Structure 1
């Protein structure tokens, strides 16, 4: 299970690694509660990142960027002008349209050819080493 592999990386931390892994798992093995915790985290994380990006863009547009040189920036400062918002929306729409076109026109373009090999339960795949 992916949760076992990822969380076992925490066991490499000296002194507290084993206790940290048991705390993450909620016991001595990965069970249903652990999997539900990880699935919900993986579902919520993209929304949290999107909200953080939107808040970041909002504050950058309101206050302006950092000015470490002390150059007067109030001369041509336009607070949250529609041009900046329009630029960001156009960039987002272009990026999403390119991604959607790639996904809809050629869905297997970024996939791995090994995913199309029929599985044989009697033979271990060659990429899995003992």
Structure 2
């Protein structure tokens, strides 16, 4: 990361909190990795609100009735896809059906 910022030495000191990776750098790194998933969750909620509740293909806000409702059709479709992926993941982790490691 510091190689990307090497043309700007003062920026490295500001981001890292000093010349070396030290306690302030680690605190900022851990804080970012803790808060970033919540930020992404907020963006997902905004996406669902604006895209699915305000109709993504209706820029003029005209009332059209040719919409597929988000709930239950799309929600259930995504939910069953998630369950399928979860089952495949659990099958792999518990029984090791597909092994991509060394054959020994």
Q: What range is the shorter-chain TM-score in?
A: 0.5 to 0.7
| TM-score of the superposed pair, with normalisation by structure 1 | 0.57
**Per-residue deviation at 1:104?**
2.3
Q: Deviation per CA, 1:84-105: give whole Å up to 9, x if none.
A: 1324432442343244334322
State the distance in 1 between where 2:2 and 2:99 align. 26
List aligned pairs for 1:44-123, cutoff 5 A: 44-67=35-58, 73-76=62-65, 83-107=69-93, 113=101
Q: Runs of 5+ in structure 1 lacking a partner?
A: 1-5, 115-130
Preserved CA contact (<8 Å) 1:61 1:84: yes
Q: Deviation per CA, 1:57-114: give whole Å up to 9, x if none.
A: 112223222556x7x8423266xx8x31324432442343244334322237899859
- Residue-pair matches, total: 100
Q: Runs of 5+ in structure 2 lacking a partner?
A: none
Preserved CA contact (<8 Å) 2:15 2:25: yes
State the distance in 2 between where 1:7 and 1:111 align. 37
| TM-score of the superposed pair, with normalisation by structure 2 | 0.68
Greater RCO structure (CA 8 Å; 6+ sep): 1
